[in-house]
Amino acid sequence: MITSRALLRSVAVVRFRIWFATALAFGALVAGFLRAQVNEEKRRDQSEETETRAAATPEPKKSPTPKTKRRHTPTPKPKTAKKKSGAKKTSDKAKKSAKSKSAEETPKPRKTPAPQVEEARAASETAAPLPRAIAVPTPAPSPQPKPARAVSAGAQAQVVIEKSGIEEDQGFEPPPSPPPRRYGFWPWSRPVSYRYLTSSVVEAIRRAPVKRRRWQFIVVHNSGTRQGNARVFDYYHKHVRRMQNGLAYHFVIGNGTSTGNGQIEVGDRWRRQINGGHVHSDYLNNISLGICLVGDFNREQPTRAQLDACEELIRYLRDRCGKTERGTIPVKPHREINPPRWPTDCPGDDFPYSWFRRF
């Protein structure tokens, strides 16, 4: 019994070994078969990639190499192509690698029937970039640096001088206190403010950012018309005389026609603190304030209210703008300050010029 059991065990071990060996052999065969299939698929993929690359490559890149060959050996290429095509018919699809090679060589007979056209294209392509290469180095960059350096050096020097002068000499003038009040005839009467210099005008004058020594003169004008106001003159100066900033004066004093008699109107040039357009000189417009009295003073004299209002306005402007190198700001009629090259009779022959002695 014991021997029979040992025999059975040995037989089972032998059978197991035989089965295991056959399984290993079968697995090796299957693995080899799978590897062969994978290799074939890889070869197919490579052949397809080579075909796609050959088809995707641009013609002008391949054109220069076959041109030289065709020039030296124009006849044998079609023969080789025919031989290869015949070899393909007889081969009956022997190898897939041969297919990839034939796919790479097949586009050659397509290019052979038109060598002259390709040569003409190549000649045009080679000739075309020549004018482009000549046009690229334009003579524009050579003259640019020379004037740029000269202008920049001069401009920088001028700007530095102007800025240093402005920063050192000028600053904002602090606004003065409100104008003093008058008192009535009797000592117990209530104080009365200025008659023509209203609180709105005072606030407009005080709020403007006035720089020190900005204004050197105050110039008095007449409008040359019997009626008008700041709005009418602004429209005329902007749309008829084509002045960009409109009203040429900083202040306008009415005569009772379009505005009240002695009413003071503040112009936009004062609020913005920009140069006027009332004198025939850019330099004088930049340093002089313009006050216009409505009326034609070659035919009539200004009203008493206009003169009183102008006097109040001038005295407060002197306090607001501060003193200049010559002291208080001088007050001049237009005819005295205008350049002699452009004479004028403004503010008119009937204007009382003795009135300027008050200042």
**pLDDT > 80? residue 282:** yes
Mean pLDDT of 98-108: 47
**pLDDT > 60? residue 171:** yes
pLDDT in tens, 47-94: 777 777 766 555 555 554 544 444 544 554 444 444 444 444 444 544
**Cα(19)–Cα(291) distance, integer angstroms:** 125
Of the pLDDT bands very low, low, confident and very high (cuts 50, 70, 90), residue 163 is very low
Instruction: Let me know: does 236 contact 298? Beta carbons within 8 Å.
Output: no
Of the pLDDT bands very low, low, confident and very high (cuts 50, 70, 90), residue 5 is confident
Mean pLDDT of 91-120: 48
Quick one: pLDDT at residue 7?
79
Quick one: pLDDT at residue 312?
95
Mean pLDDT of 105-112: 49
Nearest Cα residue to 201 out of 267, 269, 256, 260: 267
Instruction: Report pTM.
Output: 0.52
**pLDDT > 70? residue 139:** no
Of the pLDDT bands very low, low, confident and very high (cuts 50, 70, 90), residue 194 is confident
* Mean of the per-residue pLDDT values of the chain: 75
Quick one: pLDDT at residue 104?
45
Mean pLDDT of 181-203: 72
pLDDT in tens, 11-44: 888 888 898 889 889 988 888 888 888 888 888 8
**pLDDT > 70? residue 319:** yes
**Cα(31)–Cα(29) distance, integer angstroms:** 5
**pLDDT > 50? residue 205:** yes
**Cα(245)–Cα(272) distance, integer angstroms:** 10
Mean pLDDT of 298-320: 95
Contacts of 33 (CB under 8 A, 6+ apart): none
Quick one: pLDDT at residue 58?
53
**pLDDT > 60? residue 285:** yes
